[in-house]
């Protein structure tokens, strides 16, 4: 069991990180989905209040740096400007909307289009008041069967076996094979089971952040541990998948690899998104 000495410190609008250059804020993009209009609006916020750049993280979220702080809190006008981008749909749950999805799902390749599952999962998490106290490091990982995010450490996740079925997983444990339509609800049940197991430890700020930090295997009522399905794919490198795929330009909802097509397709936390890229 991993013993924590504090709660996590992952930044958000409600909890900016006081960096040397000012406030750092992270906005969660579920499955990396973001519209051109939202990026333009966020670029304008960064140009007005921050360093003028948008920074992409390894979890396909976006950060704004060098924001003003008053007693380590963002001024109300900055919060209002960030909320107006449409990228803060739930102030109470902003820190726990951590959903990583195969970047090209529904665009090209993969066994299943998981965009709907990601959206349903996000809606279910935001509608559940109890899940607002999950760690901001708690991560949902959805692999569409190509194996590109299979190697990522997941607290709860799934892997598509074909167009209609997925295998659930939590931590290093594999769960049952389910219809894709049941996946979002099942993942929420796992999150609740983790939350209950963590609370039972009564450790306060030293409570685990992740499923595999629990002292034993997490048991989820009605979702038995199951051997890995033979149809599970091998893990692949998402950077190679994205860099070798041609995508059409769209004015609708974009995913991070298409938005940052002039840069590495799987940028690191230090990669900056110039405002001119977001506005183009």
Higher model confidence: residue 204 or residue 24?
A: 24
Instruction: State the average pLDDT for the chain.
Output: 87
* Of 152-161, 251-260, 264-273, minimum mean pLDDT range: 264-273
Q: Which of 68, 85, 108, 91 shows the shortest CA–CA distance to 241?
A: 108
Q: Are the CB atoms for 18 and 69 separated by under 8 Å?
A: yes
For 102-149, how does the pLDDT look when each residue is reduced to its tens digit (9 = 90+)?
A: 999 999 999 999 999 999 999 999 999 999 999 999 999 999 999 999
Q: Which of 218, 114, 176 shows the shortest CA–CA distance to 168?
A: 176
CA angle 110–102–276, rounded 5-degree value:
120
**Average pLDDT value for residue range 15-19:** 96
Backbone φ and ψ for 168, nearest 5 degrees, come out as -80, 155
Query: What percentage of the chain's residues is helix, strand, coil (to nearest 5)?
Result: 30, 20, 50
For residue 205, the model assigns a pLDDT of 84
CA count, 13 A, side-chain hemisphere, 193: 22
Give the whole-angstrom CA distance, residue 207 versus residue 199.
Answer: 8
Give the whole-angstrom CA distance, residue 175 versus residue 157.
Answer: 10
State both tokens at 185: 């609800």
Q: Which of 136, 175, 142, 174 shows the shortest CA–CA distance to 160?
A: 142
pTM: 0.85
Question: Is residue 44 classed exposed, middle or buried when 0-12, 13-18 and 19+ CB atoms within 10 A define those classes?
Answer: middle
Q: Report the percent of the chain where pLDDT is more than 70.
A: 83
For 139-197, how does the pLDDT look when each residue is reduced to its tens digit (9 = 90+)?
A: 999 999 999 999 999 999 999 999 999 999 999 999 999 999 999 999 999 999 999 99
H runs (alpha helix) in the chain = 36-49, 76-83, 115-126, 183-201, 238-243, 256-259, 275-279
| SS3 state of residue 258 | helix
Give the whole-angstrom CA distance, residue 37 versus residue 43.
Answer: 10
What order do you get walking across the sheet with 140-143 strand by strand? 99-101, 140-143, 156-160, 165-170, 173-179
């Amino acid at each position: 069991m991993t013993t924590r000495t504090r709660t996590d410190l992952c930044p958000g609008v409600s909890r900016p990180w006081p960096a040397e250059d000012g406030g750092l804020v992270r906005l969660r993009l579920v499955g990396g989905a973001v519209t051109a209009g939202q990026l333009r609006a966020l670029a304008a916020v960064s140009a007005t209040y921050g360093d003028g750049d948008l920074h992409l993280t390894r979890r396909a979220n976006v950060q704004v740096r060098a924001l003003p702080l008053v007693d380590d809190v963002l001024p109300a006008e900055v919060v209002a400007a960030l909320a107006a981008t449409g990228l803060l749909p739930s102030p109470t749950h902003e820190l726990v909307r951590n959903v990583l999805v195969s970047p090209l799902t529904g665009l090209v390749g993969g066994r299943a289009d998981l965009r709907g599952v990601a959206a349903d999962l996000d809606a279910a998490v935001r509608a559940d008041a109890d899940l607002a106290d999950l760690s901001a490091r708690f991560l949902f990982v959805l692999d569409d069967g190509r194996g590109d995010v299979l190697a990522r450490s997941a607290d709860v996740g799934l892997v598509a076996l074909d167009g209609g079925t997925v295998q659930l997983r939590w931590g290093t444990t594999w769960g049952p094979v389910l219809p894709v339509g049941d996946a979002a609800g099942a993942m929420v049940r796992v999150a609740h089971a983790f939350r209950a197991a963590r609370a039972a430890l009564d450790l306060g700020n030293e409570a685990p952040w992740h499923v595999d930090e629990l002292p034993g295997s997490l048991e989820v009522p009605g979702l038995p541990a199951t051997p890995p399905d033979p149809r599970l794919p091998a893990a692949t490198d998402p950077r190679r998948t994205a860099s070798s795929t041609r995508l059409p330009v769209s004015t609708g909802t974009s995913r991070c690899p298409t938005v940052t097509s002039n840069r590495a397709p799987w940028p690191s936390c230090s990669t900056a998104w110039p405002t001119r890229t977001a506005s183009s």
